[in-house]
Amino acid sequence: MYTIGHQSYAPVLRLKQGEYLALADLRPDVAGHVIPHLIPPPPKERDPEKGRPLTPEEMVYETGRRVAMYWPYRPCFLDPRFLFTALGVEGSAGWLGRLFKVATESGGRPVPVFTLEDYEGDRFSGIGAVIDGAGVGVGIRLTLTDLVDINLRDRLHQVLLKRIRVKPDSCTLILDMTEADLSLPDTDELLAAFHMQVMEVGLWHSVIFQGTSYPEKNPAPAGGRIEVPRLEWVTWKNAALSDPIVRRGLLFGDFAADSAKFNFGKGGRTIPHYRYAGPSNWTVVRAAKDVPLRVAMPALARSIVESDIFAGRGFSIADRMLQDTALELSGPGNATTWRRINIGHHITRVVTDLGSTLDFAITAHVEEAPAHQGSLFGI
């Protein structure tokens, strides 16, 4: 049986290059508090390592391999929701079984996650082959529609007893509130009520809140800067501070520095920008149109590094990369680089701030910037 020990944060991450590189960048003391919820892209997505879309067989193998390579020997949730359409419900026992087998045999510790509807419906023909006798635990994602269903208790009992045949203490529930408007008042009380509701069903292995308020479209104007409230963090923190049961028993989850909308395979021009998480807001800075990246990205990085929101070079590898860009010690990067910085800093920010609520400490490393920093900044 997998265990969630002192993990307290479950970010949803697209299993794309920027995300899995950001995971590998995390310091061990930060990574120890993280259990990522990984969502692989479908095969039609262009793979940056191979420079083309993966074949179905490559998709299965590479996904399993990357889970193990970039998050080795640590538990994670693996959610193949976008693979069913591409790889098929019929025959899913084969490709799902191979996906989890490759990941496990390569050193990963993936826990399968599916919606309650998946367990109830046709997809269970493949799901059953993954969870039957696996001994790794299972995850059930409850949507907002599920959470307000008066039959939720009965549905959970039916799935536990007749489908997956596990006890609640071998199961993680994910309270997916991405469809909720977190700007409304008393959302923290609603979250606490949902938590109490599912705890009355059974003693679960763990329960995770999941939400995001990051906009689906880039909120910053070209050449501009904007602050975006992190309402999911405010919701969870208020609930945790007002209810000790929530504080002890409900893990925090978000979509890192992203929305809950998945735009796989859309193509188009990537917007050069950074999303920098602070204690309560994201600061989003966006390049002006028609400015070369070699000019735009160092300027954007400097706008963060020279401000009071910068956490410091030693805060994370992502912050070091950001400052190196500001100092023009490295190139402007590309979409993968910017996402790697956004995600790596965000995860470290969340874990650090969770520590102040849950009574553990993450200490930033002391790392001085290069000696010629002042001249480059014009100081």
In the predicted model, is pLDDT for residue 1 greater than 60? Answer: no
pLDDT in tens, 167-179: 999 999 999 999 9
The band of 59, judged by pLDDT with boundaries at 50, 70 and 90, is: confident
- CA–CA separation, 254 and 116 (whole Å): 20
| Class of residue 215 by CB neighbours under 10 A (exposed 0-12, middle 13-18, buried 19+) | middle
pLDDT at 377: 44
Per-residue pLDDT at 301: 98
Greater model confidence, 42 or 194: 194
The pLDDT tens digits for 185-212 are 999 999 999 999 999 999 999 999 999 9
Q: Which of 7-21, 35-49, 352-366 has the highest mean pLDDT?
A: 7-21
Give the model confidence (pLDDT) of 264-316 as tens digits: 765 557 899 999 999 999 999 999 999 999 999 999 999 999 999 999 999 99
Rounded to an integer, what distance in angstroms lies between the CA atom of residue 221 and that of residue 226?
Answer: 8
The pTM (predicted TM-score) of the whole model is 0.93
Assess whether pLDDT exceeds 60 at residue 378. no
- The residue assigned the tokens 């591409």 is 86
How far apart (Å, rounded) are the C-alpha atoms in residues 11 and 130? 23
pLDDT computed for residue 48 by the predictor:
75
Q: What is the mean pLDDT of the chain?
A: 91
